[in-house]
Amino acid sequence: MGLVSERQPKTTGTLTDIQLAPAGCCSAPAPHGGFYMDRALLVGINAYPGAPLAGCLNDVTDMAAFLSGKCGFAADSIRLLTDSRATTQAILERLYWLLDGLTPGDRILFHYSGHGTQIALRDESGAVDRMDDAICPVDFDWTEPHMITGLQFKHIFAAVPKGVEFVWVSDSCHSGDLDRTFPGPGAPPVSQRFLVPPADLAWRAIAAIENQIAPADFVHSTDGLNLALVSACRSDQTAADATFGGRPNGAFTYYLLQALNAPLSLAKPLTAVVSTVEAALKQADYAQEPQMTGAEATMGRAFLAR
């Protein structure tokens, strides 16, 4: 095992002033005396003012332990952002750390556990011109500077070169449909990882629908990109913030890690692992069906295959 030196990232636009902290990373011997690099960014937020969650911190610490124990990631190659530290600015900074200096053969993971939402936005003239899926950093306040949208992710992740193994795990939900599908009578009590827009923004969303503005959802943010996005539910469902044996977790992350920890799972295609998670959620009476989209080659390989 060896260390790969960090290089300063190239940033553009509003991110030119971001300074990324140097860090070590996990690496494995590669052909011709080189090194492969492993990195993971895990974001978990429970401490939302007025809408707290319970299982997001356990999600990311559990994922960190799995990456370290089963996937060969060194502790210094895994960055966690939690609660008050998981601001919009901090997440963007760490995303550019995650992507800096990637070369074919590297492995990266981005895991987000927290609230999501969908918001209608106006152009400079005041007209509603788009609907965006977004994640909600801890400083989220329904304004564009304090959210990260699917379109932003598409721009950021476009920098991932071919040959890098990139998995994006999203234990959240983003649908603007307020007629939600909730767990059936036999399901355990849960909270939902979705922030409902306030009345004025909800009405703005109605205007977007009347104007036939299609949402720029996270599924379409992966078009043409070198990654696999594994998300907790369909766009008309909610992601459950649940409890297992008295310990909070996201239902999706809990069953994903159960599936990945099963014998031979790290040799199975990611598609097969997600099918196992879907079956486990259904058996446990969670009304959510995990989704996967992105590069066919990545989805057809094992989780973080090298």
108 within some domain: yes
Give the pLDDT score at 10: 36
Of 29-33, 71-75, 91-95, 122-126, which range is least confident? Answer: 29-33
Question: What is the number of structural domains in the chain?
Answer: 1
1 within some domain: no
16 within some domain: no
Q: Quick: pLDDT tens for 78-131.
A: 999 999 999 999 999 999 999 999 999 999 999 999 999 988 888 888 788 788
Whole-prediction pTM: 0.85
277 within some domain: yes
Range of the domain at 197: 25-299
Q: Quick: pLDDT tens for 171-228.
A: 998 753 333 333 444 555 568 888 988 888 888 888 888 877 777 667 777 889 999 9
**Would residue 46 be called left, alpha or beta, if left means φ above 0 and alpha means ψ between -120 and 50 degrees?**
alpha
286 vs 201, which has greater pLDDT?
A: 286
CATH assignment at residue 264: 3.40.50.1460
4 within some domain: no
Residue (of 210, 227, 198) closest to 298 by Cα position: 227
- Residue 301's φ and ψ, nearest 5 degrees, are -100, 170
18 within some domain: no
3 within some domain: no
**How many Cα atoms are found within 13 Å in the side-chain-facing hemisphere of 297?**
10
Please tell me the distance from the alpha carbon of residue 44 to that of residue 253, in angstroms, as a whole number. Answer: 11
Determine the average pLDDT of the residues in 24-39: 60
14 within some domain: no
